[in-house]
Every structure is written in C-alpha cells, then in structure tokens.
Amino acid sequence: MKQSKDMKVIGITGGVGSGKSALLTYIAGKYNCVVILADEAAHELETPGQPCYEMLVELLSADILNEDGTINKGKMARKIFQSGELLEKVNGIIHPAVRKMILGKIADEKEKGQADFLFLEAALLIENGYLDIVDEMWYIYAGEEVRRSRLKETRHYPDEKIDAIMKSQLDEETFRKNCCFVIDNSENLMEAYRQIDRKLGGRL
C-alpha cells in the first residue's frame, strides 16, 4: 500500500434509506481508504467487558439481557424509547465512548500514514458534533419517496416506523447547509458511483 502523509477524514451522513452503506461498500472496494461505521463501534462498546456494558445494565437493569449475558437490542430499544429521560441518559453513555473510540482510530490511521482517506459513517454525525473532527462532510441524498420505497423493500419497515425515523432525523436543508459535497443517490448506483469518482479522482 502506498504511503500517504495527508489522510483526509470524510464524514458520510444522510437520511435513513439514502444508500450510505451501498456507496461506502463501493468506496472501500476501489479506493485506498479506511471505513469506520459509528453504529458498529457503538455495538462493540455495548458487548460484555467493554466500556458501556456495565453502565447500560446498571441504568436499564438486567431485564435487557439475553440468557448469555449479552444486551438484547430489541429489549433495550423498547425500554429507552418509552422514556425521553432514559434515551438521553443512554446517549450520554454511548456517544462519548463512540467518539473516543473513533478519535483513537483516526489517530492510529494517521500515525500509520498508509490510507489516502478515512470515511466515517453515521446518521447523526452533524448532531453529535463531528463537523470539528472531519475534513469534509458529505451528504448522501435521496428523495423521500425513494427512501420510503427502499425501506419497505429491503427492511420491510411499515409506514409508521418510517415516519418515526424520518421525523427524528435532520431535514434536507440542514444536511445540505452542513455538508460541502452532495451525492444524489435518488436514481441508480452507477450514477452515484460516477459522482464519487469525479470527486475522489481529483484527490479532493
């Protein structure tokens, strides 16, 4: 792998169903980069022995555990979304720990000096203050009807669940205001790939 002294850190954000994962799979397969998924980092931190595990069990009780002692995501979600106070407390445990882990990984990759890019993906990058960590923030856009169709087809979400998720996320204007590059993923993946290639082909 070629040496790189100026790895760019790029945040990838966008609404649910916009296609962030599919585009990151393409980027990871074509470019000299590292990809960090914030959701996966959070899940790792919630496993037994990891920093967030004991605090979450103490806050939410052993009711959220499976028989093997791991946290049952469904039980935890049902419990915290019934209470705005609990949700706030859980976020107060998880988000700082995820941020610390991500900052550590970014520092490690910069020290290695091998990757040209590090891509950081999460739906809440803007809300959770990552604008001051990344060099660029990219917005993956897709129209609401397109996203709804994808969520019904691929995840089998009912309208009520889609409505709730979309209502909880930033609106398009806020995404665009905080991002310096927009990828339109409303049509087909090949067109979105071309937009990425035009951007990364010039090394930013």
User: Structural domain tally of the chain?
Assistant: 2
- pLDDT for 84 equals 83
What is 32-85 written as a DSSP string? SEEEEEHHHHHHHHTSTTSTTHHHHHHHH-GGGB-TTS-B-HHHHHHHHTT-HH
Q: What is the CATH number of the domain that holds 27?
A: 3.40.50.300
Determine contact, residues 30/192, Cβ cutoff 8 Å: no
- CA angle, 177 then 178 then 179, to 5°: 100
The range of the structural domain enclosing residue 59 comes to 45-115
- pLDDT for 194 equals 96
- pLDDT for 1 equals 38
Which residues of the chain carry a pLDDT beneath 70? Answer: 1-5, 202-204
160 and 192 in a single domain? The answer is yes
Is 145 a domain residue? Answer: yes
Is 181 a domain residue? Answer: yes
Domain boundary among 67, 96, 115: 115
pLDDT in tens, 85-138: 998 999 999 999 999 999 999 999 999 999 999 999 987 899 999 999 999 999
- pLDDT for 203 equals 55
60 and 94 in a single domain? The answer is yes
142 and 91 in a single domain? The answer is no
189 and 123 in a single domain? The answer is yes
Indicate the pairing of strand 33-37 with strand 136-141.
unpaired
